[in-house]
Amino acid sequence: MFEVKEKPKKVERAFLLSVIQRKEEEPVATSLLDELTELVENLSITVQGKAIVRTRKTFPGHILGKGKCEEIHQNVRDLGCDVIIFDNEITPGQQRNWEELTKVLVIDRHEVILDVFADRAQTKEAVLQVRLARLEYSLPRLRRAWTHLDRQRGGGVTQRGEGEAQIELDQRMLRDKISATRKEIVQVASRRVTSRKKRKRIPLATIAIVGYTNAGKSTLLNQITSSNVLSENKLFATLDPTSRRANLPCGRTIIVTDTVGFIRKLPHRLIDAFKATLEEALVADLLLHVVDFSCSEFEAQLNTTIEVLNELGASEKEVITVYNKIDQGEQVISRLRAQSLTPKCVFISCKTGDGINDLLRIIEQELNRKVEIGSYKIPHNRYELVTKLHEQGSISSEISNEGGVEIKASPRGKLKNLLKEYIS
């Protein structure tokens, strides 16, 4: 596989840089740099310094003017950094110019996110999706790997330099790899669709947990389903959808799926690459949108998730907003603000379990609104039907008498047809 460039074997010290044009952008830029710091540290790289640089106009060669470039170069040299990381998206040409100026590796937020995703990918589908995104990212940057093979000779239109011919050859090979990877993803996705169809044969309601990365989605899955899915306090701890069974207070069984987290300035090609992963949100009966309530930027994170869900076509889904981490400080004003943003919400702590029972009751109410409850009188000699209703968790009330069992329930699948003759 082609790399954009030879990365040093061990990058240890980073300098983070954000370029803005208006003073009002500074608070958001500061928050994004803090987020980038966490992403970089998850790659075991120490952040030695960071800067927000304001410029009235961007320069095509380096984004910044000559004076600012020299100032950044001096800071990087004084701090002993071996990589500069832009929070802004930079072009291949700007990347090359900065590396020539500073003699250190230069990358952007996009490439950092790709590296984090590659580090976290576990299943074949996630690995393929990351590979596709990386290949597509590398294609326009391939020229940088061949600057030592510039045009070797002049001549007519048909005479090309050695470097140009090599670049064209590699670009063709890279496009072939992209095409082959897309085909593999389609095959893996089709197997997942088959698996989902098998799950659909079991008439259970499905719930997808969505939200900003590190908001506590996996921890919530563990709380609801009593499972032990990987749950760590870091960005993108898991990338693959994980499904588990859970029981609601009424006894009804549901399927809960944890999905990949979102992040601000998520590269669009990653949104496209991970659509297959996020499809679980599109087919679910209900979405749990988890928000880190302890974060001062929770409103921006909430909006980011909503925007991505809208891009995926999930805007019409029923959503319960779950404000998590209330154990890390409670502010009445913040709660009032959160409730005004999302009236259908609940406040919980996955760590302490506070509010989990309230959440389960709200889930139960939302799912019950979507089902039709019927009345049935089932004779005692057909009690196996009652047992199946209990397994589905679809019984609202049950009264036994001499004539049989009078039940109010919302049967699903084949069981609904079996009970037609017992409708009362």
**Beta strand ranges found along 236-285 (DSSP E):** 242-247, 253-258
pLDDT for the residue 59: 86
pLDDT for the residue 196: 64
The residue with greater pLDDT, 265 or 17, is 17
CA-atom Rg of the chain in angstroms: 27
Three-state SS at 125: helix
pLDDT for the residue 151: 38
pLDDT for the residue 416: 78
Q: How much is the mean pLDDT over the chain?
A: 80
Q: Which range, of 1-10, 88-97, 203-212, averages the lowest pLDDT?
A: 1-10
Report which DSSP code applies to 274. Answer: T
Residue 34 pLDDT greater than 60, yes or no: yes
Residue 90 pLDDT greater than 80, yes or no: yes
Side chain identity at residue 335, one-letter code: R
pLDDT classification of 271: cutoffs 50, 70, 90? low
pLDDT for the residue 160: 42
pLDDT for the residue 406: 86
Concatenating the DSSP letter of every residue in 65-109 gives -HHHHHHHHHHHHHHT-SEEEESS---HHHHHHHHHHHSSEEEEH
pLDDT for the residue 277: 61
Report which DSSP code applies to 345. Answer: E
Residue 366 pLDDT greater than 50, yes or no: yes
pLDDT for the residue 422: 81
> What is the rounded average pLDDT of the residues 56-76?
91
pLDDT for the residue 290: 94
> What is the rounded average pLDDT of the residues 364-388?
83
Percent of the chain with pLDDT over 70: 80
Concatenating the DSSP letter of every residue in 190-233 gives HHHHHHHHHHHHS--EEEEEEEBTTSSHHHHHHHHHT------S
Instruction: Give the C-alpha separation, 363 to 288, whole Å.
Output: 9
pLDDT for the residue 30: 92
CB count, 10 Å around CB of 159? 10
Contact 19, 63 (CB under 8 A): yes
Three-state SS at 364: helix
Residue 179 pLDDT greater than 60, yes or no: yes
